[in-house]
């Protein structure tokens, strides 16, 4: 038996077997090195940059741009309240953006290579001041307040363009290497008031009538170069129109002397010695409402509310819709089932098992100034089976392996 083995090892067949074994060992080693080198190369070519823009209503606009040459995938967003939001989005190529509106401050983002999803890294999210260093673009701000405003609209164009409609202050960033041209419009009003003045001359009294109309205005630049700001200011305008005069005797009977000219030399307004009998309308006040949605399972159900805000005139109402994307979620082996929405607001507190749930807010009719209100909706889930507690790993793990996708939104506009 031993002589047979010795003959195999010393024969040409033995040599071939040895070469095959040696080749396999070398091949495995080279493949392992190639896998390691490829992993390191992809990791070195991941160049995502994440920026956040805080807004006045307490929400945050997150923008992530791929500054490298390798395509990347946004996997998770980490927030300052230990939530992990999974993202379902298309891969980003060079200089492409991903944007999202969040109710919590994002602090870090996990991105992976689109060529090899095992190659991932966690990057920090920088503040809005640093966002200006991302590249060429224009920051657009709409500020101020306007009387009798329904909403404003700002349009921009330079080959590619876009527009935003809103009724409150807003800021957003438009990445561009070209001059941006703007068109700004306001909608609402006019609201008019008619008033009279009277002058007496002997037995005759002349009554003249004017009408003043108030309307919203917006002013700003028609074009802006890259790396500059475009600020649009809301305001209130008015026009006064002379309607005509009538002359009466002291008994109050019309003596038939009508005129289309006001007394004296005034043509654009009442005479200085006139007695105004009606005052212009007072300024219009509004209710601004900000709703928020959350759940008791660390955001795993995908809670949301629509619309995200509303501006209402006194006495007007608005219905907000609260919903979760998934009514059953599993966290570390424990299944949680949606039970109810618990909604608290300035009008009343409501609890309902409906999904979506609705909450109607009515602006008070006796406003003495602009008022801000908040509505908070919480989706309550109940555990249906035993298992690990949610939010393990120090509260930084993904509580749901299959969460609802995050929908993209403004205000960082992709050209």
Of the spans 43-52, 125-134, 349-358, which averages the highest pLDDT? 349-358
pLDDT at 60 > cutoff 60:
yes
**Sheet with 317-324, side-by-side order of all strands:** 303-306, 317-324, 357-362
User: What pLDDT is stored for residue 338 in this prediction?
Assistant: 93
pLDDT at 232 > cutoff 90:
yes
User: What pLDDT is stored for residue 413 in this prediction?
Assistant: 38
pLDDT at 387 > cutoff 70:
no
pLDDT at 272 > cutoff 50:
no
State how beta strands 72-79 and 170-175 pair. Answer: unpaired
Mean pLDDT of 86-94: 86
Of the spans 35-44, 46-55, 116-125, which averages the highest pLDDT? 116-125
Query: Which pair of tokens denotes residue 268?
Result: 């654009």
**Sheet with 161-166, side-by-side order of all strands:** 161-166, 151-157, 180-187, 223-224
Separation of CA 260 from chain center: 53
Percent above pLDDT 90 for the chain:
10
Which stretches of 83-227 are assigned E, i.e. beta strand?
A: 84-86, 97-102, 106-113, 120-126, 137-144, 151-157, 161-166, 170-175, 180-187, 191-201, 204-219, 223-224
More confident residue, 142 or 260: 142
DSSP H or E run through 296: none
User: What pLDDT is stored for residue 280 in this prediction?
Assistant: 47
Mean pLDDT of 18-40: 61
pLDDT at 156 > cutoff 60:
yes
User: What pLDDT is stored for residue 31 in this prediction?
Assistant: 57
Q: Report, at the CATH architecture level, how domain 48-135 is classified.
A: Sandwich (2.60)
Q: Mind listing the pLDDT tens digit for each residue in 122-149? A: 888 876 543 444 457 788 888 887 888 8
Delimit the domains of the chain by residue range: 2-44, 48-135, 138-259, 287-384
In degrees, rounded to 5, the angle at the alpha carbon of residue 273 between the alpha carbons of residues 268 and 275 is 90
> Do the beta carbons of residue 241 and residue 193 sit within 8 Å?
no
> Do the beta carbons of residue 338 and residue 351 sit within 8 Å?
no
Average pLDDT over the chain reads 75
Q: Mind listing the pLDDT tens digit for each residue in 277-312? A: 444 455 667 888 888 999 998 888 888 888 878 888
pLDDT at 412 > cutoff 70:
no
pLDDT at 47 > cutoff 50:
yes
Q: How confident is the model at residue 266 (pLDDT cuts 50, 70, 90)?
A: very low
More confident residue, 282 or 341: 341
Q: Mind listing the pLDDT tens digit for each residue in 221-231? A: 999 988 788 89
Mean pLDDT of 10-18: 65
């Amino acid at each position: 038996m031993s002589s047979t083995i010795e003959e195999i090892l010393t024969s040409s067949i033995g040599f071939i077997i040895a070469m095959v074994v040696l080749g396999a060992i070398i091949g495995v080693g080279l493949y392992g090195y190639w896998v390691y080198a490829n992993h390191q190369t992809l990791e070195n070519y991941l160049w995502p940059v994440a920026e956040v823009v805080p807004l006045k209503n307490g929400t945050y606009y997150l923008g992530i741009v791929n500054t490298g040459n390798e395509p990347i995938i946004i996997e998770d967003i980490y927030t300052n309240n230990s939530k992990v939001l999974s993202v379902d989005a298309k891969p980003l190529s060079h200089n492409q953006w991903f944007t999202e509106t969040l109710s919590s401050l994002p602090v870090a983002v996990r991105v992976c290579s689109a060529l090899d999803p095992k190659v991932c890294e966690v990057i920090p999210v920088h503040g809005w001041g640093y966002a200006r260093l991302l590249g060429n673009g224009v920051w657009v701000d709409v500020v101020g307040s306007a009387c009798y405003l329904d909403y404003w609209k700002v349009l921009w164009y330079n080959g590619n363009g876009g527009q935003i409609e809103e009724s409150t202050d807003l800021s957003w960033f438009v990445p561009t290497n070209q001059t941006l041209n703007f068109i700004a419009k306001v909608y609402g009003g006019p609201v008019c008031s008619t008033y009279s003045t009277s002058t007496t001359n002997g037995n005759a009294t002349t009554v003249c009538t004017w009408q003043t109309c108030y309307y919203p205005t917006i002013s700003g630049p028609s074009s802006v170069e890259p790396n500059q700001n475009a600020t649009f200011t809301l305001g209130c305008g008015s026009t006064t129109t002379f309607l005509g005069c009538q002359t009466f005797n002291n008994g109050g009977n019309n003596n038939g002397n009508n005129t289309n000219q006001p007394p004296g030399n005034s043509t654009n307004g009442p005479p200085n010695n006139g007695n105004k009998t009606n005052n212009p309308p007072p300024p219009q006040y509004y209710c601004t409402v900000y709703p928020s949605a959350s759940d008791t399972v660390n955001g795993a159900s995908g809670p949301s509310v629509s619309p995200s805000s509303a501006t209402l005139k006194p006495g007007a109402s608005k219905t907000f819709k609260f919903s979760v994307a998934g009514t059953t979620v599993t966290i570390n082996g424990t299944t949680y089932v949606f039970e109810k929405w618990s909604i608290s607001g300035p009008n009343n507190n409501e609890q309902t098992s409906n999904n979506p749930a609705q909450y109607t807010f009515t602006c008070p009719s006796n406003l003495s100034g602009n008022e801000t209100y908040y509505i908070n909706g919480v989706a309550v889930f109940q555990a249906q089976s035993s298992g690990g507690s949610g939010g393990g790993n120090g509260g930084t793990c993904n509580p749901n392996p299959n969460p609802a996708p995050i929908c993209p939104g403004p205000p960082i506009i992709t050209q």
